Structure 1
Amino acid sequence: MKLFFMILGFLTLGLGAVGVVLPILPTTPFLLVSAVCFAKSSRRLNDWFRGTKLYKDNLETWARGEGMTWRAKLRVMGTVTVLMVLGFWMMHSVPVGRICLAVVWVAHIVAFCCIVKTCPAEKGGRCCCHDDQ
């Protein structure tokens, strides 16, 4: 089972890395799956993954419960918006599909703007949400 999680972790890490460069692939969901897989496969891989720039730029503050920076939120919302627009365009003859996509897109934007906490600034890999920094 550990080998399965290790392989899946590297596969989703690769897709997440490609997603940083290509706006059509979402980075954060792939990195979340990678984090879970590496945590289940080996402590060493988990520690390595948590030290990568991808993790630190996209998930570290969220995983600590501090929220996400606006930059990370905009990156995720932008990627999802591009994918939703592509799907919306491809469903030109399926009005119900377009309505579903529109509802999911609006829910996504509302969730990221109103539910996921926002760190006002980032300094040294940590959100500046607390007075102790």
Structure 2
Amino acid sequence: MDEEKEGVKNILKRFLLISVGWLCVILGCIGIFLPLLPTTPFLLLASACFVRGSPTIAGWLHQHPTFGPIIYNWKQYRAVDRRIKWRANIFIVLSFFISIYIVPEIWQKIMLTAMVIMLLIWFNRLPETKAVARSTKNT
């Protein structure tokens, strides 16, 4: 009976870890386009969930041509690829520009301007790495 309960418990734990992992992958994908939703932390959390819940899915995520290098660069160097940083800067500026244009109140415009300045300063101070997407380091 105890073994049966333990088996059910393990199945539920794996299901929960895999579900949270996929949710984090989805949020990470959305974060590619929404700069206030960070991609890398969600991918790292997804990786941690998959390593514990499904090593097969973790392997897929680590070998993924888009997500693998992001995870590798952050885990190995605590750095962001230069191309990802460039794209992120463009999306940050565009999305904040649209938001600043849309909001009606001047205090909201000032708040958003301050937020984008702080975000850009923080983000651009992160170390950069060269791409490793086609490197053997990623295997």
1:10 equivalent among 14, 22, 25: 22
Aligned to 2:80: 68
**Structure 2 CA distance, aligned partners of 1:100 and 1:6?**
38
Q: Which runs of 5+ in 2 are unaligned?
A: 1-12
Aligned to 1:102: 113
The 5 A counterparts of 1:75-90 are 75-90=87-102
- Return the offset for 1:15: 4.8
Identify if the C-alpha distance between structure 1 residues 126 and 18 changes in structure 2 by more than 3 Å, giving closer, same or farther.
Answer: farther
1:91 matched to 2:110: no
**Structure 1 CA distance, aligned partners of 2:88 and 2:67?**
14
How many residues align structurally?
122
Identify if the C-alpha distance between structure 1 residues 89 and 65 changes in structure 2 by more than 3 Å, giving closer, same or farther.
Answer: same
CA deviations on 1:22-57 (whole Å, 9 max, x unpaired) are: x45767254344334324533332222111112124
Contact 1:56 1:125 in 2 (8 A): no
> How much identity, in percent, do the aligned residues show?
16
Q: Which runs of 5+ in 1 are unaligned?
A: 128-133
- Return the offset for 1:117: 0.5
The TM-score with structure 2 as length reference comes to 0.65
Contact 1:2 1:40 in 2 (8 A): yes
Aligned to 1:118: 128
Structure that is richer in helix per residue: 2
2:70 equivalent among 58, 73, 81: 58
The TM-score with structure 1 as length reference comes to 0.67
**Structure 1 CA distance, aligned partners of 2:121 and 2:136?**
24
Contact 2:24 2:45 in 1 (8 A): yes
- Radius of gyration: which is bigger? 2
Aligned to 1:46: 58
